Structure 1
Amino acid sequence: MKYLTASSCMVASGNPLAIDAARAILKQGGSAIDAAIAADVMMGVVEPMATSIGGDLLAMVVEPTGKALAYNGTGRAPIAFTDTLLNQFKNHQIPERHGLSITTPGVVMGWWDLHQRYGKMPWSNLFTSGIDIARDGFRIAAIAAREWKIFDSVLHYDPTSSALFRAGDPPKAGELFRNPDLARVLENIQQRGPQGFYQDFPARACAQASQRHGGVLHEDDFDNHQGNFCEPISQKFKDVTVYECPPNTHGVAVLQALGDMADLSFDEMDEPIVVLRSVQAMGRGMEHAKKIVADPAGNTVCTVVVDAHGLAVTLMSSVFKRFGSGISAEGCGFVLQNRGFGFAGPGHINSPAPGKRPFHTVVPAAATRDGQFFASFGVVGGAMQPQGQLQLLLKVVGAGHTIETAIKAPRWRLESADTLAIEDGMPGDVVAALRSAGYKAPTFGELGGRSDFGGAQWIMRLPDGSYAGASDPRKDGAVWGE
């Protein structure tokens, strides 16, 4: 089910198997964090083009008291990185898919840190469903199969990835796919905690994979990795306070755009002037983010959970571009992220350096109203993440639309300062106003020639204290609650 109301607890995630994993944990008495981790473990199994334990994790937590807290689990550039390594590349910038694009994965430590603070279930319980599905196999979902096929070309770069993910013969929707190597790694993490990843054979395999393709990632980078909790940045919009993770993410773009829109009336959300103002505000917000962080793009998964005690979390993980670096750790069943491509060129505030975190597109978010939980949400899709959040917030908070109506509505996506993709179904007068304002149609998009309009997961508290949840029909996900 894509839309639902419930009175006690709720989960929205990107695949029904992730929903099943989270629901089982909640029914056993686990917390929202426990459930979100179990769902994210599963997402790394069933959507390997989007996330894996070779990627990064960020989260936004709203405690039952209404306090919001961010978690940054993003990895860093290798300690052995030197500027001279960039001399071989055009514009002295790390290529999109190369051994140097691999940064230290932060997902597993992120799970551990979140569980240590908010978990109720034993750590080992969170992995059972994901391990079983990886070993026994799962049916490929429709949209995942489409993306797998579109990005098959990425898998031909590395022999390990080619064999693991069937380069040249991507699995079709409904086909059974097994990943026993990933099941073995997850079992090691289940039994040993983060040490089973950062101080064991997966770390060695990742370092070797990076070095085979010209990178300098080392086992010491894994041993030294740490994530951190931090205070979120925020912006008041109408009667809610919206929270985003601080840089190195581009959540600041959402907050700046909301601030620019605060004086506008939203009585008619689809009026051309409202949509045009929102596009212009988003453009300014994204330009601001580029100056203080870097250029955005990417792919992600999102799980949102609220438990019966009022703890809420938006947990997002990602390997950046689809299938990340295209380089897999031999014998481990997962692809490594290419977040190093998020670094800017020399002289920029976001230029690469040893142990430095790159610009990050993942922006889990939440909102409170009158000091209490109002909503937890995220939109996957790289540069669409802040743009999708803005459009949904304007509709739900600004215009009072239901979340179902807001998510179904057609979206726009800025591809560059003057290039705007517009999803089918946008009212004709709005399209005309946007094109007249100088926003041209793109000739290409991020997803195989088509613009990606994102996939939202959203849970919000209704005035009577119950919850409304939604999982974007643009993706394979679902929502559950009781």
Structure 2
Amino acid sequence: MFKHPFYSKGGVVTSESAIATTIGVKVLDLGGNAIDASVATSLTLSVVLPHLGGIGGDFFALIADPSEKVHYISGSGWAPKRLSIEYMKSRGFNKMPNEGPHSIVVPGLVDGLRVMWEKFGTMEWKKLVSIVVDSLKDGFPISNSFASALNSSKEKLLEDPGSKKTYFSNKESYTAGDIFKYDGLINALILISQDPREFYEGPIAEKAVEYLNSLGGAFELSDFKEFKAHIGKPISIELGDNTIYEMPPNTQGITTLQLLKLLEYLGMSYNSTSRERVLSHLRLYEPIYAVRDAYIGDPEYMKTTVEELLSQEFLNNAIKSMKYRNTLSTQGSDTTFFSIIDESGYVVSGIQSLFTGWGSYVTEPTFEITFNKRASSFNLIDGHPNALGPRKRPFHTLSAMIIKGKERVMSLGLSGAHYRPQLHAQLYENIFRFKMNPQEALEHPRFVWDPENNLVEYEEGIDMPSANELNGKKIIKRGYPSRIGVAAIAEILENGVKAAYSDIRGDGSSGGQV
């Protein structure tokens, strides 16, 4: 093992930032529960890893409460009401852009945190946000991830005046450990500390609409003011002694459950690094991703129910008849996941993202908020469940898991965008089929199929089949460890001890109460 788990009789936090993990633990030490710590951890991640999960993005969570009921939080933003297929086609677009103002939805992260905290939190909202502000207002040493993202995306960021001002006013390049200081973003957090709806109903929204529309956007203040996140029900399946919870549509959580259900049903024999495992998984990826892209979108517009999509009859027919036809851009995998468990037994599995690194490459300069590119996931196909529409939520790659068994409750998630269901399924198998401990499961070599380019990427250590066996798919070998997903796991063990695990592939850090 390259990293070591953190065990605690109290609470634990695992995230992709040592700073965020430390602040999450601080909230637990001050008497907050896992939801309070999640608010502070999420907002900290939005500052220290803005390219992955800034407040201009979306947020989702699964929460298992001490009574073992699981809840779903959706902070999925919607398209502005003026944005439609007709609007885009009249401006010469035949598909959604991957950057710029028309790739942006109203950010859902802040309101997602609000509804989660209002339902389950215990500490004062202002105090939680102030802990983040006080910790970061004078600047912070940047991680290797943040420094690399700034340097590798400099050319694109300089094209946007707001991004140029925010990230390159005083420095030409960055190294891990450099001090980075925000002014505008800290001011935004101070406003949000007074009332989270300030993000949607005050000067932050006003400046966002003004700047985005100066670039040709189609936003109105009402798009922000009328947006609300919501609490819902997760989806789940039973496998053996485990109940596996995932996030419902508009997320791709159902794709994870479909893969796991088929892998169990077909009962294929293989070991964890074998070519047979690769072949068995890849045979399922194409038809199940075809199902995903044909059926999943904003649930208000879907024509097929979750129950139908998870039925064995539907899945059996799908693997015989469905052929993959890409309707989505599969580029990018920049997301950040965290998990927190408190002493009382609350478990939070939280995930946030701009979609790809730096999202739309658009940053509002007054409050230094970089915006997502989630609208790029829409298509312009009339009648499709994921067709662009006013106030519609796009198909979403973000999802995360909670697994409840006889002897443990586990939270699991990762970065990975369109690869996420594949990697969720591999991690689940590593733990529950191959009996690895979670740290071993995280560090085990991985493989993924890129549907857009029909290629297979794999890490050293996997016995990869030949291109001929893979029907001519291109094969790319990565050194170990690569950046194929950055995962984390937290769990409650049979004896009540909490454990947190982080991935060798990222800058992640696990910590907890002592």
TM-score by length of 2: 0.87
After superposition, residues 39-438 of structure 1 pair within 5 angstroms as 39-87=41-89, 92-166=94-168, 169-191=172-194, 193-263=195-265, 264=267, 268-293=271-296, 295=328, 296-297=330-331, 298-347=333-382, 348-370=384-406, 374-416=409-451, 419-427=454-462, 430-432=463-465, 436-438=469-471
Residue 421 of structure 1 contacts residue 451 of structure 1 at CA under 8 Å; is this kept in 2? no
Per the TM alignment, residue 306 of structure 1 is displaced from its structure 2 partner at its CA by 0.6
> Relative to structure 2, which stretch is displaced further, 193-202 or 417-426?
417-426
Residue segments in structure 2 that go unaligned for 5+ positions in a row: 297-326
TM-score by length of 1: 0.92
Query: CA separation of 1:140/1:41 partners in 2, compared to 1, >3 Å: closer, same or farther?
Result: same
Q: Secondary structure at the match of 2:55?
A: coil
Partner Cα separation in structure 2 for residue 90 and residue 381 of structure 1: 31
What is the letter of the counterpart of residue 346 of structure 2?
Answer: L
Alignment-derived partner of residue 458 in structure 1? 489
Partner Cα separation in structure 2 for residue 345 and residue 166 of structure 1: 36
Q: Secondary structure at the match of 2:392?
A: coil
> Relative to structure 2, which stretch is displaced further, 468-477 or 355-364?
468-477
Post-superposition Cα deviations, 1:309-357, rounded to whole Å, max 9, x if no partner, equal 0010111111112111111122102101111101012222211111000
Alignment-derived partner of residue 472 in structure 1? 503
Per the TM alignment, residue 129 of structure 1 is displaced from its structure 2 partner at its CA by 3.5
> Relative to structure 2, which stretch is displaced further, 431-440 or 324-333?
431-440
What is the letter of the counterpart of residue 411 of structure 1?
Answer: R
1:15 pairs with 2:48: no
- State the identity as a percent: 26
Post-superposition Cα deviations, 1:379-419, rounded to whole Å, max 9, x if no partner, equal 11211222221110010112111111111111112112773
Q: Secondary structure at the match of 2:413?
A: strand
Per the TM alignment, residue 72 of structure 1 is displaced from its structure 2 partner at its CA by 0.9
Per the TM alignment, residue 205 of structure 1 is displaced from its structure 2 partner at its CA by 1.1
Partner Cα separation in structure 2 for residue 265 and residue 351 of structure 1: 37
Q: Secondary structure at the match of 1:385?
A: helix
Post-superposition Cα deviations, 1:7-50, rounded to whole Å, max 9, x if no partner, equal 33211111000011100100111010111110111101111111
What is the letter of the counterpart of residue 126 of structure 1?
Answer: L
Partner Cα separation in structure 2 for residue 190 and residue 398 of structure 1: 45
Partner Cα separation in structure 1 for residue 42 and residue 403 of structure 2: 22
Partner Cα separation in structure 2 for residue 77 and residue 290 of structure 1: 19
Residue-pair matches, total: 474
Partner Cα separation in structure 2 for residue 266 and residue 134 of structure 1: 51
Query: CA separation of 1:174/1:61 partners in 2, compared to 1, >3 Å: closer, same or farther?
Result: same
Post-superposition Cα deviations, 1:433-479, rounded to whole Å, max 9, x if no partner, equal 6762336335799xxxx984111111123333323321112111100
Partner Cα separation in structure 2 for residue 417 and residue 12 of structure 1: 32
> Relative to structure 2, which stretch is displaced further, 410-419 or 242-251?
410-419
Partner Cα separation in structure 1 for residue 395 and residue 477 of structure 2: 24
Residue 483 of structure 2 contacts residue 506 of structure 2 at CA under 8 Å; is this kept in 1? no
Q: Secondary structure at the match of 1:49?
A: helix
Q: Secondary structure at the match of 1:36?
A: helix
Per the TM alignment, residue 375 of structure 1 is displaced from its structure 2 partner at its CA by 0.7
Alignment-derived partner of residue 307 in structure 2? none
Residue segments in structure 1 that go unaligned for 5+ positions in a row: none
Query: CA separation of 1:383/1:439 partners in 2, compared to 1, >3 Å: closer, same or farther?
Result: farther
CA RMSD of aligned residues (A): 2.3
Partner Cα separation in structure 2 for residue 128 and residue 331 of structure 1: 20
Query: CA separation of 1:342/1:462 partners in 2, compared to 1, >3 Å: closer, same or farther?
Result: same
Partner Cα separation in structure 1 for residue 71 and residue 269 of structure 2: 30
> Relative to structure 2, which stretch is displaced further, 125-134 or 38-47?
125-134
Residue 395 of structure 1 contacts residue 401 of structure 1 at CA under 8 Å; is this kept in 2? yes
Per the TM alignment, residue 230 of structure 1 is displaced from its structure 2 partner at its CA by 1.1
